[in-house]
Amino acid sequence: MTSQELFSLDRLRQEIIRYFSVVNPLESGITKIEFEGPRIAIYTRSRELFSNRDQVAKDLVTLIKKRVIIRPDESIRVEKSEFEAEARERIKGIRRLIFNDLMGEVIVELDSNVQPPSDDVIKELSASTGWITSTSIKPPMETKIIEQVNNVIYGYAEERLQALRRIGEKVFRNQVFETRDAIITILGSGMQVGRSAILLQTSESKVLLDCGFAPGGSGNMEMIPRFDFMENLIEELDAVVITHAHLDHMGMVPYLFKYDYRGPVYCTEPTLPLMLMQHLDFINVAGKQGIFAPYSERDVMTAIQHTVPLSYGMVTNIAPDIRMAFYNAGHMLGSAIVHIHIGEGFHNVIYTSDFKYETSRTLDAAVTKFPRAETLIMESTYGATPTQFTREESEQLLASYVEKTINRGGKVLIPVPAVGRAQEIMLVLNHLFSTRAIPEVPVFLDGLLIEATAIHAAFPGYLRKELRDASDELSSVFLSEYFVPVRSQQQRDEILSSDEPMIIMATSGMLEGGPILSYMREFASDERNMLIFVSYQVEGTLGRKLLKGVREFPVVDESGRTELVIVKLEINKVDGFSGHSSRQQLLNYLKAFRPKPKKLVLVHGEPEAVMSLAKSSSRILEGTRIYTPYNLESIVLEAQG
């Protein structure tokens, strides 16, 4: 720790001690004050202070404008065996206890069918045992990825704590330069879909908003963000903010850690396990295709060790002159719109990333109202698409395609991204079955979407309000009798050899790998079958080529030989299920957005989409300056009066 960082901590310590001596003169019993990621951790041996920690923490946040957590000193904690005995007496259905000795925390994991205890019970248990206690419920579906996340974070507590302290040193260091200027530079997603990466610089800090790669990109220069823009950029970054767990927005995060980035990665709570799942699958698929992955599993685990999950609405310091908060984006589970507050009122940036301004079967619509917003950075994916089906029309169209295919004895192939679209289509199909809108046939689920669906079931609080209010219904939907997970090659072979009508949902959504290619290779030549795209197909991907009329493509079989697949099945696309906003929804979002931005920056769209949206936006946002940057272009953010 440098002398500057020590001074910063000493200054915070003095303000905290002044609070206890002047504002709230109780016996604090403070034993140490530490950085803990974007929070200040205060350890106390005073049971009175520990029992009143929530109110005291709120008071301190108001005083020092930093997030605070008050932790119990080891001297006031009961033995683990004593905690367990008291916990089991107060709480029914305990599955296991996860202790963190270094931080004085314990997670009480409950069986999935148990009603969680009240907040009062948890507070009483904490006060009497001296342990910070929280509860979690075992997900209704088995998920290996969440277990892996818990193992990385809780199984290596010392490494995790050291990572959080390093992060705290970055966040709470003294601000050397007054915030007089700020600039955003597009390192990816400028006039293209994918490779999202936007660098925000002030005179004090450097923050990266998203860090993805370009699907279908040829060569590193076209695939990964333009980190070559600035010498020593990776080592000088203060923070990385990830909006959601799609690879074109977070696929290159472990790459940063491969090259010694050791700062924080901020994301929402569900994004953490989804991100781990996608990274590991990316490495696995690359290996099977004989492609050299740009990072290793070790880099992925190091990234997870430095990731700080946040809930929606939580305002957090991420650099000496930058605060941020996440808000629902409606795009996929845990997807976030980012509110960046620069300096003390200097400038506010809203970065939508991918968003959906419409309530879906899975998620609520994106948030439109913010405390302040001078610059809006918005996606433009469907900015040039003139018409779009409503969700009701899309469901009817999907039903007609499925019914048509099943009635002629064919199979329906639906390639889906593992996260978001897959679960939305599952809910739609379940509804169509229950209303008898389509014939009852098995729906086989193959690939990463099985694990992703389990993670959805583990985070009901991030789903649509109607689903949150009916957790039993949520479980039954994702565990519906119509859905059959494919868990072995033998089971997959049986499906491939079957002549019965069925629906197959498999990854990947753009036909760039994954089990969907096995089904395409087997079923593409049968005219009775149908391929239905329900997600955006990026230029250069096999999915986009098929939509353009290509009717043959090469695949590599299990023996390593290349085989040419002739495509005779029917191909259709249903746009209304997209997790992106349609053109009209993008324009409606601008109409509803408050406060009116002074700058609008359009990214994440192909040139035609960006320019078309810019033209229409100028009529809605009169007086707003509109930018349509290419990669490596920069925009200056001025101080606000």
Q: pLDDT tens, 143-198?
A: 899 999 999 999 999 999 999 999 999 999 888 888 989 999 999 999 999 899 99
CB distance 399 to 430 below 8 Å: no
Quick one: average pLDDT of 500-512?
Answer: 93
Give the integer Cα–Cα distance in Å for 506 and 473: 24
pLDDT of residue 558: 67
Q: pLDDT tens, 98-118?
A: 999 999 999 999 987 788 899
Quick one: average pLDDT of 535-546?
Answer: 88
pLDDT of residue 387: 65
Quick one: average pLDDT of 20-42?
Answer: 83
Domains defined along the chain, listed by start: 3-75 (3.30.70.1770), 77-138 (3.30.300.20), 174-385+580-637 (3.60.15.10), 391-573 (3.40.50.10890)
Q: What is the DSSP letter of 45?
A: -
Q: Torsion angle of alpha carbons 424, 430, 436, 441, nearest 10°?
A: 110
User: What is the token pair recorded at 70?
Assistant: 């008050």
Q: pLDDT tens, 41-67?
A: 999 999 999 999 999 999 999 888 889
Write the secondary structure of 79-100 as one string of H (helix), E (strand) and C (coil).
CHHHHHHHHHHHCCCEEEEEEE
Q: What is the DSSP letter of 605?
A: S
pLDDT score of 530 more than 70? yes
pLDDT of residue 516: 93
CB distance 372 to 341 below 8 Å: yes
% residues pLDDT > 90 (the chain): 75
Quick one: average pLDDT of 487-506?
Answer: 95
Q: Provide the terminal-to-terminal Cα distance of the chain, rounded to the nearest Å.
A: 37
Q: What values do phi and psi take at 238, rounded to 5? A: -90, -30
Give the integer Cα–Cα distance in Å for 479 and 457: 10
Q: pLDDT tens, 555-599?
A: 876 667 888 999 999 999 998 888 899 999 999 999 999 999 999
pLDDT of residue 576: 84
Task: For 521-547, give the DSSP string.
Answer: HHHTT-TT-EEEE-S---TTSHHHHHH
Q: pLDDT tens, 269-295?
A: 999 999 999 999 999 888 877 778 899
Do the strands 307-310 and 483-485 form a parallel or antiparallel pair, or are they unpaired?
Answer: unpaired
pTM, rounded to two decimals? 0.91
Return the half-sphere exposure (C-beta side, CA atoms, 13 A cut-off) of residue 52: 12
pLDDT of residue 5: 44
Q: What is the DSSP letter of 621?
A: S
Quick one: average pLDDT of 139-146?
Answer: 86
CB distance 572 to 530 below 8 Å: yes
pLDDT score of 261 more than 60? yes
Q: pLDDT tens, 298-343?
A: 999 999 999 999 999 999 999 999 999 999 999 999 999 999 999 9
User: What is the token pair recorded at 67?
Assistant: 């997030």
% residues pLDDT > 70 (the chain): 95
Length of the chain: 641
What crossing angle do the helices spanning 449-458 and 421-434 adopt, rounded to 10°?
A: 80
CB distance 304 to 153 below 8 Å: yes
Give the integer Cα–Cα distance in Å for 607 and 611: 6
Give the integer Cα–Cα distance in Å for 201 and 637: 10
pLDDT of residue 471: 54
621 beta partners: none
Model confidence at 2, pLDDT cuts 50, 70, 90, reads very low
pLDDT score of 497 more than 80? yes
Q: How many CB atoms lie within 10 A of CB 81?
A: 8
Give the integer Cα–Cα distance in Å for 71 and 18: 19
Which strands sit side by side in the sheet containing 316-319, from one edge to the other?
A: 316-319, 322-328, 336-342, 347-351, 375-379, 599-603, 625-627
Closest CA to 387 of 619, 548, 583: 583
> CA angle, 18 as apex, 14 and 23 as ends, to 5°?
155
Residue in this structure with the two tokens 């034993």, named with its chain if needed: 31
Q: pLDDT tens, 618-628?
A: 999 999 999 99
pLDDT score of 9 more than 90? no
Residue 112 identity (one-letter amino acid): S
pLDDT of residue 276: 97
Write down the mean pLDDT value for the chain. Answer: 91
641 beta partners: none
pLDDT score of 477 more than 70? no
Maximal C-alpha separation, the chain: 81
E-assigned strand segments in 362-452: 375-379, 411-415, 443-446
